[in-house]
């Protein structure tokens, strides 16, 4: 028998940590989604798909700029001392993934802007801006560099969000090297699903559906490895895994995140790419919702996990 | 260079909470929050029970994860005493340090910055002890330089059995509990 009583009752800390609400999962999802979109649009640029005027690579940068800004605003809302947010840019803290992220985001915006300039939408582009787009799209080196930068920065953006949580060793659930690759793969999957839904070119829709299937399978493997790592570690890590095996997050994780968000859309999309059934927007929509729920579950469950048993 | 730490004799602590009240008074800790607190741990099987009463606070770790995760440098290790402090003028209230601390020693002050035990450094630089140590009625708390072999804390650690909290977390805490 072990009984522990404490006189501490600090807000946000007791009885269990609850410092981060909806703002952080929304930012993590949008960051991952934008990361995936950057990688996909960068790949399209590098592979020459930009010569097709219907290429999704011209829609993704503008969408990414908007979605990333929404995510950053959610992040800003989470800060308890908002007027100091500019302090993030007065130093580089090499051991802090949050510091890496703030500087990566500073580089992401120019990369997205460069991509955006390749095809400025006619709705907002005046004659001069359209001329600029036409000049830039003809410069192969500029296109290649933009594609490469978008892929690189997209990968960094997607991975750092997972690493940020995984370095917080005081929360055993997060303390896994699998979180970085998992969040990147989930972001790629959500981005592939979104592009699959909005792409105007049929060959791109097919390509992204197949790519999404690969990302979903990889995601399942990474989730498996995450739990294997937790289950074979210390007692506190086993306790963290138990949150999903009989604990309070069991149903929402296995039914919604894994079932509805990965397994069901994977089966539907496998049948669709093999022409057994028609493509349906329900599968990619389920992937996107599953991606959002994955972030919510990991952030909330992680705050539940503790070294104090 | 001095490395300040604390030694608490759990065989003398009666859990009176004078240290908690003294800290709140000395540091104007907001109502509803605690920089230090009392933990009572009972273990064993009746009738063979053991009880340990501990006055806990930030452990001013030698390997502080709260400092490593801070994106602005607000959480830092002071040169004087190698204690872990928070510069409220740099803090953005991101709460990463709250998530990083395995002891849950921090909280967010109502003004928006991360707050915790400071070892009463404003008293220490004046040659005084931290408020919790000074006020303890059983004199179970000792404060001093762990790198000085002749300090009271060093001599106690050499002569008495002791433990730290969550040693397996790897943070190298500097608060020792004598058993």
Q: Can you give the pLDDT at residue A112?
A: 96
Q: Which residue on chain B is closest to A97 by alpha carbon?
A: B69
Structure tokens at B148: 């000085």
Which residues lie across from B85 on neighbouring strands? Answer: B76
| Contacting residues of A for B106, CB less than 8 Å apart | 13
Using pLDDT thresholds of 50, 70 and 90, give the confidence band for residue A57: confident
Looking at chain A, which residue has its C-alpha nearest residue B71?
A: A99
Average pLDDT of chain A to the nearest whole number? 94
In chain B, domain spans: 4-178
pLDDT of res. A154: 96
Subunit contact B69:A307, Cβ cutoff 8 A: no
Cβ within 8 Å, pair B99-A168: yes
- Within 10 angstroms of residue B2's Cβ, the number of other Cβ atoms is 16
A205-209, A228-232, B81-85: segment of lowest average pLDDT: A205-209
Averaged pLDDT for residues A99-118: 95
Q: Which residue has the higher pLDDT, A51 or B176?
A: B176
For residue A33, give the H/E element and its range: helix A23-46
Say how many C-beta atoms besides its own lie within 10 A of residue B44's C-beta: 12
Closest-CA residue to A174 (of B67, B120, B69): B69
Domains of chain A: 23-304 (1.20.1630.10)
Nearest chain B Cα distance for residue A295, angstroms: 16
CA distance A198 to A195: 5
Which range among A44-53, A208-217, B148-157 shows the weakest confidence by mean pLDDT?
Answer: A44-53
* Neighbour-count burial for A130-169, b at 16+ CB within 10 Å, e otherwise: eeebeebbeeeebbeebbebbbebbbbbbbbbbbbbbbbb
pLDDT in tens, A284-305: 999 999 999 999 999 999 999 9
Instruction: Decide if pLDDT at A91 tops 90.
Output: yes
pLDDT at position A53:
78
Confidence band of B88 (pLDDT split at 50, 70, 90): very high
- Minimal CA–CA distance to B61: which of B167, B141, B177? B167
ipTM: 0.92
Question: Quick check: A120 pLDDT over 90?
Answer: no
- pLDDT value at residue A125: 62
Beta-carbon separation of B43 and A85 below 8 A: no
pLDDT at A132 (0 to 100): 86
Residues with Cβ < 8 Å from A69, sequence gap 6 or more? none
Contact B73 A91 (CB under 8 A): yes
Chain segment B94-151, per-residue pLDDT in tens: 999 999 999 999 999 999 999 999 999 999 999 999 999 999 999 999 999 999 999 9
Q: How far is Cα B90 from Cα B69, in angstroms, rounded to an integer?
A: 14
Choose between A6 and A126: higher pLDDT: A6
The answer to whether the CB atoms of B98 and A9 lie below 8 A apart is no
Decide if pLDDT at B11 tops 90. yes
Mean pLDDT, residues A92-108: 95
Q: From B89, which residue of chain A is nearest by alpha-carbon distance?
A: A84
* Closest among B105, B78, B103, B107 to B93, alpha carbons compared: B107
| DSSP 8-state symbol, A44 | H
Q: In which band, very low, low, confident or very high, does the pLDDT at A130 lie, cut at 50, 70 and 90? A: confident
pLDDT for A198 beyond 70: yes
The whole-number pLDDT of residue B122 equals: 97
Contact B175, B8 (CB under 8 A): yes
**pTM (2 decimals)?**
0.94
pLDDT digits (tens, 9 = 90+) for B38-75: 999 999 999 999 999 999 999 999 999 999 999 999 99
DSSP 3-state percent helix, strand, coil across chain A (nearest 5): 70, 0, 25
CB contact under 8 A, A12 and B107: yes
Return the pLDDT at A71: 97
Of A7, A79, A101, which is closest to B38 when you measure between CB atoms? A7
Phi, psi of A127 (to 5 degrees): -55, -45
Question: Distance (Å, rounded) from C-alpha B107 to C-alpha B112?
Answer: 10
pLDDT, average across residues A213-229: 98
Over residues B8-18, mean pLDDT: 97
Cβ contacts from A onto B, under 8 A: 153
The runs of H, that is alpha helices, within chain B are 18-27, 65-69, 96-100, 121-124, 131-135, 152-159
Q: What is the CA radius of gyration of chain B?
A: 16
Percent of chain A clearing pLDDT 70 (strictly above): 99
Overall CATH class of domain B4-178? alpha beta
Residue-level pLDDT at A55: 85
Compute the nearest-CA separation of B153 from chain A (Å).
25
Is there a contact between B39 and A5 if contact means CB atoms under 8 Å apart?
Answer: yes
Average confidence (pLDDT) over A144-151: 96
Q: What is the pLDDT of residue A102?
A: 95
């Amino acid at each position: 028998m072990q009984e522990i009583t404490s006189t501490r009752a600090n807000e946000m800390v007791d009885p269990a940590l609850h410092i981060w609400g909806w703002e952080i999962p929304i930012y993590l999802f949008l960051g991952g989604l934008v990361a995936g979109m950057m990688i996909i649009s960068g790949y399209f640029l590098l592979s020459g798909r930009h010569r097709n005027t219907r290429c999704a690579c011209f829609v993704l940068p503008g969408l990414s700029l908007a979605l990333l800004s929404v995510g950053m605003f959610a992040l800003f809302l989470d800060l308890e001392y908002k007027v100091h947010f500019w302090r993030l840019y007065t130093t580089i803290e090499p051991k802090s993934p949050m510091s890496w992220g703030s500087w990566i985001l500073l580089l992401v915006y120019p990369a997205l802007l460069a991509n955006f300039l390749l095809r400025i939408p006619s709705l907002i582009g005046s004659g001069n801006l359209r001329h600029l787009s036409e000049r830039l799209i003809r410069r192969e080196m500029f296109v290649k560099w933009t594609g490469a930068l978008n892929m690189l920065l997209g990968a960094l953006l997607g991975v750092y969000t997972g690493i940020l949580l995984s370095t917080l060793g005081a929360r055993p659930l997060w303390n896994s090297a699998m979180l970085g690759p998992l969040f990147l793969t989930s972001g790629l999957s959500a981005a592939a699903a979104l592009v699959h839904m909005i792409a105007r070119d049929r060959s791109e829709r097919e390509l992204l559906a197949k790519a999404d299937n690969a990302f979903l399978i990889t995601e399942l493997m990474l989730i498996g490895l995450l739990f294997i790592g937790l289950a074979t570690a210390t007692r506190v890590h086993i306790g963290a895994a138990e949150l999903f095996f009989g604990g309070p997050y069991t149903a929402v994780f296995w039914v919604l995140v894994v079932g509805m968000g990965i397994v069901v859309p994977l089966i539907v999309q496998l049948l669709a790419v093999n022409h057994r059934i028609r493509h349906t927007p329900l599968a990619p929509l389920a992937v996107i919702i599953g991606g959002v729920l994955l972030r919510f579950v990991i952030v909330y469950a992680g705050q539940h996990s503790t070294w104090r048993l | 260079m001095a490395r300040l730490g604390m030694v608490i004799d759990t065989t003398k602590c009666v859990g009176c909470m004078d240290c908690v009240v003294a800290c709140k008074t000395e540091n104007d800790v907001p109502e509803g929050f605690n920089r230090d607190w009392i933990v009572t741990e009972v273990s064993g099987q009746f009738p063979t029970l053991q009880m340990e009463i501990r006055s806990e606070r930030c452990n001013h770790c030698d390997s502080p994860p709260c400092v490593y995760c801070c994106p602005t440098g607000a959480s830092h290790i002071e040169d004087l005493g190698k204690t872990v402090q928070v510069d409220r003028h740099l803090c953005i209230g991101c709460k990463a340090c709250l998530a990083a601390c395995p002891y849950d020693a921090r909280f967010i002050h109502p003004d928006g910055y991360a707050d915790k035990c400071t070892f009463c450094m404003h008293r220490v630089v004046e040659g005084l002890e931290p408020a919790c140590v000074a006020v303890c009625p059983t004199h179970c708390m000792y404060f001093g330089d762990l790198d000085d072999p002749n300090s009271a804390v060093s001599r106690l650690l050499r002569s008495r059995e002791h433990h730290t909290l969550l040693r397996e977390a790897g943070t190298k805490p500097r608060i020792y509990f004598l058993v």
